[in-house]
Structures are given as structure tokens and as C-alpha cells.
């Protein structure tokens, strides 16, 4: 569970198509599950533990991550569990977390961001010619996603606004606007106004958490 930014990251690698048949670029992407901000990414021509470790070093420096502050979740791929990656996480003080064996939906945040990326209208209809073209496109996507995209899962603020702690003020102002609108013309409202309370807790696997709560109630 995350109650603030930089507590729980989710990361994964996805393929990006190229004009060479059978050849792919590899997008490494790390997401903060609390704010939904993409805190780091890179595209390489290969998938290795060492490259993933380099990315995490950059992220920890850029975000000011302190030892023991952050958990990094991933699936059970070789790059995720490679010796270089695990040693680097230990040096950084980042706690590794892995999906349960045989469970395909234990890394939902990374799966969701890759769906958003690949199914957005701006995703190229033709494969990338070279790695520079791929990096330029993803760079534009990340800037839009972090700074402009009003994310429905965080009450329609941008990931950067939530990551910087500005979402509370923004949502309080929205709540006041809605309250004034209802007071001015109550006949237009059949019930309560939209809930603009900030989301305080974000679970790594919401479906698993709901299942545990149901089991506890049944016990």
C-alpha cells in the first residue's frame, strides 16, 4: 500500500515494433502507483538486468529516493531478478517485490500504462525506423501523460500534480465550486455532488486486497 509518492514503484519492459521483421526495441518504464507518474523510462535495443539497474540509479537520484523508502514491484522476468539489478537495488536501499508465480495480473499498473501508451490515438501506425525515433515518440507521450493527462483513477488531476502534492488544493477548489453550484440551483442536483476527496491509499494489487477483505468478512 502507498500513502504518498515514492513509496511503491511498478516497472516492466514492453516491446516496440521496428521496421526490421523480428527485431524490437525494449521500453523500460517505471511508474509511481500512488501518483501514477512515470518517474523514469528508457529504450534500448536489448533487455538486460544491467540496463534496468542503470535506469533505477537515475530515478533514485532524480526523485531523491532515500534508503528504505521505496519498494519496486515487477514480474518475474530475468531482467527483474538478475544479479546486477538486485545488487543495485540493495545498494540503493530499494526493496524488490515480485509477482506471485503463475499469476498473470499481479503487476496491473505497468500493464495499464502500456495499454494506455500503445492504444492512444497518437501511437504510430507504422513501426519505428530507429531507436532515436522511438525515444522521441515516447518522450512526447511521457510529457503529455505526466503533465496534461487528467487521470480518472486520481480524480482527474495530472500525475505530476499529485506527485508534487498539489492535488489536495485542486480537489478542494473543485469541491467548493460544486457546492456553490448546488446551492445556487439545487433543483439541478438529484443527490450529492461528485466526490472530490483525494485518494489517500493506493494498493499494489486492488483485486487481491478486495479478495482478502471478503475472506475476512466471511471468516
What is the mean pLDDT of the segment spanning 95-113? Answer: 86
pLDDT for 219? 44
Among 49-53, 55-59, 135-139, 214-218, name the one with the lowest average pLDDT. Answer: 214-218
> Residue 216 above 70 pLDDT?
no
Q: Angle between the 131-147 and 108-119 helix axes, to the nearest 10 degrees?
A: 110
Residues 6+ away with beta carbon under 8 Å from 209: 203
Q: Which residues contact 19 (CB under 8 A, 6 or more apart)?
A: 126, 127, 128, 129
pLDDT number for residue 3? 97
At residue 208, the pLDDT reads 56
Q: For cell 537520484, name the residue.
A: 61
Say which CATH topology domain 8-163 has. Answer: Nucleotidyltransferase; domain 5 (3.30.420)
d(C-alpha 12, C-alpha 73), whole Å: 9
pLDDT 10s digits, 3-36: 999 999 999 999 999 999 999 999 999 999 999 9
Helix (H, G, I), strand (E, B) or coil at 14: strand
For residues 178-195, give the mean pLDDT. Answer: 89
Domain ranges of the chain: 8-163
What is the band of 210 on the pLDDT scale with cuts at 50, 70, 90?
low
Region for 188 from its dihedrals, namely left if φ exceeds 0, alpha if ψ lies in -120 to 50, beta otherwise: alpha
- Rounded average pLDDT over 166-185: 95
The gap from C-alpha 169 to its chain's centroid, in whole angstroms, comes to 22
Amino acid at each position: 500500500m502507498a500513502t504518498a509518492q515514492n513509496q511503491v514503484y511498478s516497472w516492466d519492459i514492453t516491446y516496440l515494433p521496428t521496421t526490421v521483421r523480428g527485431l524490437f526495441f525494449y521500453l523500460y518504464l517505471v511508474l509511481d502507483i500512488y501518483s501514477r507518474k512515470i518517474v523514469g523510462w528508457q529504450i534500448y535495443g536489448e533487455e538486460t538486468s544491467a540496463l534496468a539497474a542503470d535506469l533505477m540509479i537515475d530515478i533514485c537520484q532524480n526523485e531523491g529516493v532515500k534508503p528504505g523508502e521505496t519498494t519496486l514491484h515487477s514480474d518475474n522476468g530475468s531482467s527483474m531478478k538478475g544479479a546486477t539489478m538486485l545488487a543495485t537495488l540493495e545498494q540503493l536501499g530499494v526493496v524488490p517485490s515480485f509477482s506471485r508465480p503463475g499469476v498473470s495480473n499481479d503487476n496491473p499498473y505497468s500493464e495499464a500504462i502500456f495499454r494506455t501508451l500503445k492504444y492512444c490515438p497518437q501511437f504510430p501506425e507504422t513501426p519505428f525506423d530507429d531507436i532515436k525515433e522511438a525515444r522521441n515518440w515516447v518522450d512526447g507521450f511521457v510529457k503529455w501523460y505526466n503533465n496534461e493527462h487528467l487521470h480518472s483513477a486520481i480524480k482527474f488531476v495530472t500525475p505530476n500534480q499529485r506527485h508534487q502534492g498539489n492535488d489536495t488544493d485542486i480537489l478542494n477548489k473543485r469541491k467548493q465550486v460544486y457546492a456553490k453550484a448546488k446551492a445556487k440551483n439545487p433543483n439541478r442536483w438529484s443527490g450529492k455532488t461528485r466526490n472530490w476527496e483525494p485518494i489517500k491509499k493506493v494498493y499494489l494489487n486492488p483485486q487481491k486486497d478486495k479478495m482478502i477483505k471478503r475472506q475476512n468478512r466471511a471468516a
